[in-house]
Structure 1
Amino acid sequence: MSFWLYIALFAAAVAVYAMVDILMTQISYNKKMVWFAVIVLLPIIGPMIYLFKKKSIAGKVS
């Protein structure tokens, strides 16, 4: 298999994980839609941004 195929599979797996995590997180519907848009429009960088910001997002909801 090609190196780029591994990169694409990894990016897809991270994106799916981030989307499932967004659905499970207790944040507002609007914020969920914004994060979905970020992940879909920025397929490699979007999930990484979400996963790095995840702690600050979850910490604000109480």
Structure 2
Amino acid sequence: VWLNPPPIPLSTEELDTVFALPYARVPHPKYQGRRIPAYEMIRFSVNIMRGCFGGCTFCSITEHEGRI
């Protein structure tokens, strides 16, 4: 098993640049016509900090950004 060290946190300017990218914020096409668990809960989510308090089975944010 290989564990990479945690990444160096992005600066405010770098994080703003990432969030300014033209992401679609829509489900992947493979989910067409299928229900995504908890999608309605996260559909209009707003990021206010790094990391996540959740541990959703369909999401890997806590794996690469850590828990709060």
Q: Tell me if both proteins adopt one fold, taking TM over 0.5 as the criterion.
A: no
TM-score category, normalised to shorter length: 0.3 to 0.5
Q: TM-score scaled by structure 1? A: 0.33
Relative contact order (C-alpha < 8 Å, sep 6+): which is higher? 1
Q: TM-score scaled by structure 2? A: 0.32
Kindly indicate which of the two structures has a greater share of residues assigned to helix.
Answer: 1
Higher radius of gyration, 1 or 2:
2
